[in-house]
Structure 1
Amino acid sequence: MSSPPMLLRLGRRAAPSLIGRCRSAGTDALFGVRPAVLRRFIVDTSYSAHFMDFKGSSIPSSMKKLVVTKLSQDFREAVSVRTVAVPTPGDAELLVRNRFVGINASDINYSAGRYDPSVKPPFDAGFEGIGEVVGLGLSASSRYTVGDVVAYFGSGGAFAEYTVVPAKESVPVPSVKPEFLTLLVSGTTAYIAMKRLGNLAKGETVLVTAAAGGTGQFAVQFAKQAGCHVIGTCSSDEKAGFLKSIGCDRPINYSTEDLAKTLRKEYPQGIDVVYESVGGSVLELAVNSLANKGRLIVIGFISGYKTAAGITPFNGGMLPVKLLQKSASMRGFFLPHFIEDYKEALRSMMQMFAKGELVCEVDCGDMAQEGRFVGLESVFRAVDYMYAGRNLGKVVVDVAPPTVGDSKL
């Protein structure tokens, strides 16, 4: 996901209202479905403020987590593995045993200190996770119980074997599937950006860059659902085949085709909407390819995140003229600024996924050279894998594979 993560200085205040209600009277009030989870009795109620399922979940006394110890755009240089005590949830918090965590392009921006310069190392890394509630505070127990499954994203701390999460920032889900992680930020970014900024109309031409990635896959599907002709850029024939399978009309493998020449030859009237996440020369090409009244949505610029500046140079000197000549527009999209649309977007996507109307592709590294991303330490490989452009779908790490007899995972 190249859209910045939710919780920066603004996001820290906004996050509770992003997720909203959890469960009421045993029913998932956000999605209107009843998660099929196996609930366990709380076996330790010796504390007045929290409940911990030590026996049922085999909670250890210590755990591993990833901590940013040095500000650097080099994730391996910035982040270290630490062994710490398993935290205890507060009154309105959940202790989640992580099963899967999501990898985002912005993990590097966060470890480089670009989001909030006032935050100094050490601080926890990782934004998204999904797992089982194994402990909770007294207030949180009015909405959740031990054994529930939740997905979450926040201001850091997901890259850990156990994470304390505010109950209000948690999303109850039917089961521990990594596909749910694709919806929290990557999916909602595409859904809201296309709806609010794209103003898609049937018959229009839409270009999605990095189309086979975490958020690009959703932009392709939502544009196709709107009746548009969809073009998607990618880096391999395998990815081109995937894009066709989710409705992309014209995948362009830029490793074998010249993107600029292809667009000029096949789309001489220009592109109506561009969903852009790469930056640099690709962004310049997108501007030059706009049709009259075209709309360009910038949701990131991943090509520059690993540089010291954090952004690839963009030659925008003639940008006002180019936009004016075509009555075109160029707008940025940052998810926290659209919190009023979040619940509806997430609810709609959950329903589409449940009905089989939405593909949520995840990449757990099964085809990576060193194999599947299993265990917390494999987060480093997963970040490298994503930035090498090898992923197809959203990159996800399997933090804790299920044990024998664990029916929920």
Structure 2
Amino acid sequence: MYRTVLQRNGRSAFLVLNEYCGRSNTGLGVNVLSRRTIIDLSYSTHFMDFKGSSIPSSMKKLVVTKLSQNFRSAVSLQTVPVPTPGDGDLLVRNRFVGINASDINYSAGRYDPSVKPPFDAGFEGIGEVVGLGLSASAHFTVGDTVAYFSEGAFAEYSVIPAKKVVTMPAAKPEYLTMLLSGATAHIALRRLGDLREGETVLVTAAAGGTGQFAVQFAKKAGCHVVGTCSSDEKAGFLKTIGCDRPINYKSEDLAATLRKEYPQGIDVVYESVGGGIFDLSVNSLANKGRLIVIGFISGYKSASGLQPITGGTLPAKLLKKSASVRGFFLPHFLSDYRESLTEMMKLFAKGQLVCEVDRGDMDPEGRFVGLESVFRAVDHMYAGKNLGKVVVEVAPVVDSKL
């Protein structure tokens, strides 16, 4: 069977040439295979169907309609047609999507000023393949469970290039935690941390989506790990994943604690808060210390996206200690991505990696279910209430095996 893609009214149709073994005589003494041509326009039967269920004609998605650091103001919930995948694409029915601090930076247009609204929101999702293009069908099939790191995840259905997805064992939110949060910690510490056994590592916002991974990877490297958090509950969680010294900064003086308990300074800081915590981290560095900036969430809601720091004295402080500040932005390290994800998946399968998920069970309005709850989930994270990676359930999980 051969298939050739035709375009009809912007949708994909498939020309199917069926060969059968009836023979015809050409009059030249040569028998050839007879052929019949069937134009099959019911592409949904072959390429857009999941367990025999129909795919709706419309869906919901979140769209950035104006640039603003106020997520609720910038983003609207819209009903649009379900898209059709192109030749190398997959149509994924999203089951879970991940919430990231950078969602606000994206809605504010800080990553690419040339991109103007409207554009789709969200960075990561996991779900089942319910449709695919011809080229994509060489490697995937309807019913496969896949996860992806790509724009436009805040939708009931997403069209994703097949080259951007990773096959997953099941549509579990734990797998989603590794795509951005886990990969950021894994690659940043490996490429920029230069961790050595016996060193002291400070992880700020340690009980958050990426902090939980930084704690575990630093501990696996044989380091003494210090983690900041905002509650005793979070401090208790940090102990369970190997944090040697959780510090609840709401009940302890963080600066005084670091000076008293770590007088020689901190060798590596995994920093995601910014502002005053950044300044404190710089002041706490040991000789030859390394501070990795993976974010500065404390300033994202401001007009500039930044909180003030004492940058004027930074060169002198770094010079005095032969220390360094290193920035990490995951898209610049995509060559490391698949190897990193593979290693994390192996650790998780062996029970050697905790992937804590916050699905909103402690939120007053209940679990984050449906795209409408993305707004609540973003607020939940920015209020510092999350324990682990914040995840929204878009649709109920079903068995993805046909």
- In the other structure, the counterpart of 2:48 is 52
- Calculate the aligned-residue CA RMSD, in Å: 1.5
**Which amino acid letter does the alignment assign opposite residue 60 of structure 1?**
P
Deviation for aligned residue 1:287? 0.3
Q: Deviations over 1:335-383 (max 9, x none)?
A: 1222222222111111001111000111000111111000110000000
Q: Which residue of 2 aligns with 1:165?
A: 160
What's 2:365 paired with? 370
Whether the aligned pair in 2 keeps the contact of 1:49 and 1:91 (CA below 8 Å) is no
User: Is contact 1:68–1:111 with CA below 8 Å preserved after alignment?
Assistant: yes
Residue of structure 1 in register with 2:15 after alignment: none
Letter in 2 for 1:144: F
Could you tell me the TM-score, scaled by structure 2's length?
Answer: 0.88
Contact 2:144 2:400 in 1 (8 A): no
Alignment partner of 1:407 out of 395, 399, 402: 399
Query: Who wins on radius of gyration, i.e. which is larger?
Result: 2
- Mapping of residues 4-403 of structure 1, within 5 Å: 46-47=42-43, 51-53=47-49, 56-154=52-150, 156-402=151-397
* Paired residue total: 362
Structure 1 residues 198-245: Cα deviation after superposition (integer angstroms, max 9, x where no partner): 111111110000000111001000110011110000000110000000
* 3-state secondary structure, aligned to 2:346: helix
Distance of 2:223 and 2:75 partners within structure 1: 42
Letter in 2 for 1:407: D
Aligned to 1:318, what secondary structure does the other structure show? helix
Counterpart code for 1:258: D
Normalised by the length of structure 1, the TM-score is 0.86
Distance 1:45 1:144 in 2: 21
* Aligned 8 A contact 1:271 1:291 in 2: yes
Residue 385 of structure 1 deviates from its aligned partner by 0.3
**1:330–1:94: structure 2 CA closer, same or farther, 3 Å change rule?**
same
State the match for 2:33 in structure 1.
none
Q: Tell me, in whole angstroms, the C-alpha distance in 1 between the residues paired with 2:196 and 2:343.
A: 19
* d(CA) in 2 for partners of 1:55, 1:198: 47
Identity %: 80
One-letter identity of the residue aligned with 2:166: V
Using the alignment, how far apart are the partners of 1:206 and 1:49 within structure 2?
A: 54
Q: Could you tell me whether the CA contact under 8 Å between 1:50 and 1:137 is conserved in 2?
A: no
Q: Which has the higher contact order (CA 8 A, sep 6+)?
A: 1
Q: Alignment partner of 1:317: what SS?
A: helix
Runs of 4 or more off by more than 4 Å in structure 1? none
**Distance between the aligned counterparts of 1:282 and 1:334, measured in 2?**
19
User: Which sections of structure 1, spanning at least 5 residues, go unmatched?
Assistant: 1-43
Q: Distance in 2 between matches of 1:291 and 1:367?
A: 39
Q: Is the 8 A contact 2:50 2:142 kept in 1?
A: no
Which ranges of structure 2 fall in alignment gaps of 5 or more residues? 1-39
The answer to whether the Cα contact below 8 Å between 2:50 and 2:143 also exists between their aligned partners in 1 is: no
Structure 1 CA distance for aligned equivalents of residues 108 and 280 of structure 2? 28
CA–CA distance in 1 between the matches of 2:87 and 2:155? 21
Contact kept, 8 Å, 1:50 with 1:136, in 2: the verdict is no
